[in-house]
Each structure stands twice: as structure tokens, then as C-alpha cells.
Amino acid sequence: MIGVTVPTLESARLRLVALDPKYFDAFAAFFASERSRFVGGPATREQAWRFLAGEIGHWTMRGYGRFAVELHDGTFAGVVGAWNPGGWPEPEIGWELMEGHEGKGYATEAALRVREWLYTERGWTTAISLIDPKNYGSKGVAARLGAAYESDWHHERYGRVEIWRHPGPHA
Amino acid sequence: MTPVVPTEITTERLQLRLLAAADLDSYLAYYTGPRTDGVGGPKPKHVVIERFFAMAGQWVIRGFGRYAIALKGRAIGHAGVLHIDEVYAPEITWTIWDAAETGKGYATEAARAALGGYLAVRPRVLAHIESFNAASIRVAEKIGMRHDMDGPKHPWMKDSLCYVGEAR
């Protein structure tokens, strides 16, 4: 066995499962589109493959990572979870939705489930999300999760990003 | 994922093993530094981290990948088979990160072991080497790969030579 066992998390409308190459075409389509402009795209198919492999390798290296978000009929709706590559200010909770799945509250529902898992199963005591200042959709998700803008941080690719702080486990 | 090749190989002087989080700093030092002109570098830190995570993830996806080359436990480089999206054929790569450990035959020793492990289960693998990278060309020839004039071109190493390794 190589890598770690990724748990499956359930919420009212969603299943959060291990990322897998079966999602690659949808993942590459997302990274080919303007929808990926706040998260490192648009990017070539080759680069998208490295991103997907990197998501899976993050689990191996950190013991946690991001999940594929599926609707109950198995449709791939997005990628949500914990992210902490080297050089990050703190581990964060991040979310991306695939085309056609925005505006339904899926990012909020999935991130809330992930946050509960991190606090209760993984011993996290706080969490942040890094958000591009112009990504108003993502800021709306953060606000619905009860997070609040805290400060700015500078990333060598994304430039200025906002740090949003989530409520703690006992909030 | 069940491994397709051994996840650890011990050679005369080295151990090939899976990459560990503790290896990231050495990999970063190499790939953001000046010795990377043969491999498209130097790269910004965030790109290097992405590649490191992707190397680990490829093992999970494919059951084979690039090993850390460890010398008395310390990673000094990586060697093994990279297989990006199906558009590209599997390719073997080798790199010594630590400049102080070059010139000792470690790349040859590690690449030979990684190549042998891979060709025990798969028929063929390529290597793309910049035409000016004489040290790496010597490694390819020593481990029994042959120059293929008609081999596929590498997507971004435009002047690279294609070498082929085949199972006997």
C-alpha cells in the first residue's frame, strides 16, 4: 500500500471522497477555464495533471488533504479540503467548484463538514482560508462559514491574498 | 494503490525509498538553485513544492514513480519513472540534488536500480536529456539505454536527445 487511507465524509447532499485519476478530465477542464483564475489557472493539461497528482501527494506527505466532492448521484462537483504546502502561513481550508455547481451552497456545506472533521478527528484548533481579494464568491462562502477577514499575506504567484480566520472548535 | 515496482531498493552504497516530507527542504534547495539548467530550472519555490507533492502523488496513482536516493538515510537526489498524463510516454529521470555528492557515480547506481525495477514489469521507458548534459548522457549509456534518433521529442526540452531502455 502506497499513500494513506482517505476517509469518506458525508453531509446532507454531498459525499467527500479520495481524489482519483477518474476525475482528471473534469479537473483538467476546470483548469483550462477562466474559473481557475484564482487558484493557479488557466493551466495546460500537463500542469493540471501535476496539480491532481499534487493533491494526492499532499495526503501522503501531510496525512490530510483535499477531497473530491460528489453529489449523491456520483457527479463530481468540486474539490474541498485541507491544504498546507511548504511556505503557507498556516494550514488552510480551500474549496473549488466545477462549472455548473456554483450558487447551490455546496462549497459551504463541504467546507463545514471538512472543518468539523479537522476539529474533531484531526485535532486542529484553528483554521484559515486564503482568498484572492477579487474572489467575491469565495469570500461569500467564507462569511457563511462564520470566518472573518484577518490580514493580508503575499504569495509569490497569487500576489496579495486575504487571510480569513474560521471560528474555532468551540465557537 | 498496490505498488507495481518495489518501493525500496538497496544498492551497494544507496537506498532508494519513497519521498518523505523531510526531504522537501533539500529538494527545494536544489530546484531553486543554479544547478538546474539541464532540467528547466531554476523554478520558484511554489512550483518546486507542487512538483514534490506531484512526485509523491504519482506513486499513489500509478504504483511506480521517482524514488528518493538516500545516502545513510539522507536524501541526496531522486531517480525513477515519471509518467504524466497519458499524452506523454513514461520517462526515467535522475538527479543528484546535493552538489557535494556529484561525480561519485551515485546517479548511475540509482538510475540502474530504478530502471531494472521498472523494466522487470514494463517493456520500455524513455529518457530525455539535453544535448549539452554530458554527465547525464554518460549515465544513460552506462545503464544500457540507447540513443534513439527517431524517438519522440520532449514537449519543452527542444534540443534534448531521446534514449530508450527496453526489457531484455
Residues A101-144: tens digit of each pLDDT: 999 999 999 999 999 999 999 999 999 999 999 999 999 999 99
Look at residues A109, A111, A126, A114 and name the one whose alpha carbon lies nearest to residue A163: A126
Which residue from B1, B44, B87 is facing A156, i.e. has the nearest CB? B44
pTM for the model: 0.93
Residue tagged 474539490 (cell numbers): A79
Is A107 within 8 Å of A43 (Cβ atoms)? no
The x, y and z cell numbers of residue B166, run together, are 527496453
pLDDT for B40 beyond 80: no
Which residue from A51, A52, A61 is facing B21, i.e. has the nearest CB? A61
CA triple B126-B128-B129, angle to 5 deg: 140
> What's the pLDDT score for residue B118?
98
Chain-centroid distance, C-alpha A89: 16
Task: Work out the angle between the directed axes of helices B134-142 and B106-119 (0-180°, nearest 10).
Answer: 50
Low-confidence stretches of chain A (pLDDT < 50) are: none
The C-alpha of B44 sits at a distance from chain A's nearest C-alpha, in angstroms, of 8
> What's the pLDDT score for residue A40?
83
Return the higher-pLDDT residue of A110 and B157: A110
pLDDT for B1 beyond 80: no
Is B65 within 8 Å of B54 (Cβ atoms)? no
| Angstrom distance (rounded) from CA B97 to CA B78 | 8
B31 touches chain A (CB under 8 A): no
Which residue from A49, A54, A87 is facing B53, i.e. has the nearest CB? A54
Phi, psi values for residue B39, rounded to 5°: -130, 25
Residue tagged 538527479 (cell numbers): B95
| Angstrom distance (rounded) from CA B156 to CA B142 | 25
Contact B1 A2 (CB under 8 A): yes
Residues of B in contact with A3 (CB under 8 A): 1, 56, 59-60
What is the arithmetic mean of pLDDT over B128-143? 96
Is A128 within 8 Å of A156 (Cβ atoms)? no
Look at residues B131, B127, B163 and name the one whose alpha carbon lies nearest to residue B148: B163
Q: What percent of chain B has pLDDT over 70?
A: 100
Q: B48 falls in which pLDDT band (50, 70, 90)?
A: very high
Q: Searching chain A, which residue's CA lies closest to the CA of residue B59?
A: A2
> What's the pLDDT score for residue B158?
81
Contact A87 B46 (CB under 8 A): yes
Say what the ipTM of the complex is. Answer: 0.91
Return the higher-pLDDT residue of B2 and B161: B161
Is B60 within 8 Å of B1 (Cβ atoms)? yes
> What's the pLDDT score for residue B156?
77
CA atoms within 13 A on the CB side of B20: 11
The x, y and z cell numbers of residue B60, run together, are 499513489
Q: Searching chain B, which residue's CA lies closest to the CA of residue A63?
A: B21
Q: Strand B9-10 vs strand A14-17: parallel, antiparallel, or unpaired?
A: unpaired
Q: Interface of chain A against chain B, CB under 8 Å?
A: 1-3, 21, 24, 28, 45-46, 48-62, 85-87, 155-157
pLDDT for B37 beyond 90: no
Task: Please give the mean pLDDT across all residues of chain B.
Answer: 94
> What's the pLDDT score for residue B11?
98
pLDDT for B17 beyond 90: yes
pLDDT for B159 beyond 90: no
Q: Strand B9-10 vs strand B66-71: parallel, antiparallel, or unpaired?
A: unpaired
| Angstrom distance (rounded) from CA A101 to CA A69 | 11
Q: Quote the longest CA-to-CA distance of chain B.
A: 40
Q: Searching chain A, which residue's CA lies closest to the CA of residue B21?
A: A61
Return the higher-pLDDT residue of B40 and A143: A143
Contact A49 B85 (CB under 8 A): yes
Q: Searching chain A, which residue's CA lies closest to the CA of residue B22?
A: A61
CA atoms within 13 A on the CB side of A23: 25
B61 touches chain A (CB under 8 A): yes
Phi, psi values for residue A144, rounded to 5°: -65, -25
> What's the pLDDT score for residue A87?
86
What is the arithmetic mean of pLDDT over B147-152? 92
Burial of A125 (0-12, 13-18, 19+ CB in 10 A): exposed
Q: Searching chain B, which residue's CA lies closest to the CA of residue A49?
A: B85
The C-alpha of A137 sits at a distance from chain B's nearest C-alpha, in angstroms, of 25
> What's the pLDDT score for residue B36?
84
Least confident of A30-34, B12-16, B51-55: A30-34
pLDDT for B99 beyond 80: yes
pLDDT for B86 beyond 90: no
- Three-state secondary structure readout of A36-60: HCCCCCCCCHHHHHHHHHHHHHHHH
Residues of B in contact with A64 (CB under 8 A): none
